[in-house]
Amino acid sequence: MLLSGSEAYRPPVPTGFQESRSALQERRLRLLLAGRSGTGKSATGNSILQRKHFLSRLAATAVTRACATGSCRWASWDVEVLDTPDLFSPEVSQADPGFEERGRCYLLSAPGPHAVLLVTQLGRFTSQDVRAWQGVKVLFGAGIAARTVVVFTRREDLEGGSLQQYVRDTDNRALRELVAECGGRCCAFDNRVADGEQEAQVRELMGLVEELVRDHGGAPYTNDVYRLAQTLGGLSPEERLRRVAEQLAARPPTWPRAGLWWWPKPPPGIRYKLGLAALLGSLFMLYLLCRRWPEAVTA
C-alpha cells in the first residue's frame, strides 16, 4: 500500500553522483512525468504519491514552472516522482534558452529514470501531444520509447469501458501509433477518486513499471548526458548544472523545421485524392490565366 506523510518520506539519497546500482539492488524507482502542459501531470504525480505534493489546479496557463520531486513508499520500493514543466514543446528554446531547466531535469532524475510516464487526456490527444512526444524523444533520445508508459487522465470518461478497446477502436491514428511505439503500455487515471480507487489505479501503473524494470534487468534508462552526470559527483551543484547544460546545448538540433511537425501521413487513397485535387486546382488556375491573356493583349 501507499504510505503518506512521515511514514512515506525517506530522505532521498543523492543520485547521479555515485556508483550506480540497479533498481533490483537498491529497491528505488525513478518515475519521470512528461507530456504537454494541461494534461494533468502534477495531479497524476499527486495520485501516485497519494497526497497533495505538486501544485495542481485548473488554469489557462501552465502551473508548473520548474522541475520538482516527491517521494513515497510503494510495497518494497522507494519511489521518486519527478514533475516537469513545459520542457517538451517547440517553445522550450525560448523558455529555456540556456538549457538550465532541462539540465535540472537530468540531474534530478540521474542516473536515469526507470520509467517515463507520458500523460495525456482521454479523448483529447491532439497535435500538441504529438509535438510533446517528439520533444520527449528530442530531450532523451528515441530509445526512451522502450521505457515509456502512456497514462491517460480523465479515466471517468471511459464510463466503465475498457481502455484497451478505446485505444484499439479510436480513429485517432496518431494515438494508436504512439501506444504501439511504447509497447502497448498504457493505463488510465481518475485523479479525483477516493483513496481506495486511487490505490488500485497506482497498483496497475506500478505493475507496468515493475515489468519494465524486470525487462531491463533493473537498470535505469541512460544516455550520454546521464553518463556525464554520473562523473560530476565532486563538483558544486552550479558546476554540475553548467556542465550538463553545455552538453545539451552542444547536441545538434533535432526539432523539425517550424510548420513541419510530424503528423501521421494519410492513407494512400487519401494522399492520391489530395494530390489529384491539387493538380486539378493548378490546371484550373492555368485555364483562367490563359482565358484572360488574350483580353490583356487586346487592351
Are 238 and 107 in contact by the 8 Å Cβ rule? The answer is: no
Beta strands (DSSP E) in 122-236 are: 148-153, 186-189
pLDDT over 60 (residue 99):
yes
* Distance, CA of 115 to chain centre: 10
What is the number of other CB atoms lying within 10 angstroms of the CB of residue 196? 7
Give the separation between CA 136 and CA 139, rounded to whole angstroms: 5
Q: What average pLDDT does this structure show over 112-117?
A: 98
Give the separation between CA 236 and CA 72, rounded to whole angstroms: 27
Each residue of 2-59: pLDDT tens digit? Answer: 333 333 333 343 333 333 444 455 689 999 999 998 899 999 999 999 889 888 655 4
pTM confidence score = 0.76
Each residue of 132-163: pLDDT tens digit? Answer: 999 999 999 999 999 999 999 999 999 889 99
Contacts of 54 (CB under 8 A, 6+ apart): 42, 43, 45, 46, 64, 68, 70, 83
Show the cell assigned to 158. 471511459
End-to-end CA distance of the chain: 88
Put residue 194 in one of left, alpha, beta given phi > 0 → left and psi -120 to 50 → alpha. Answer: beta
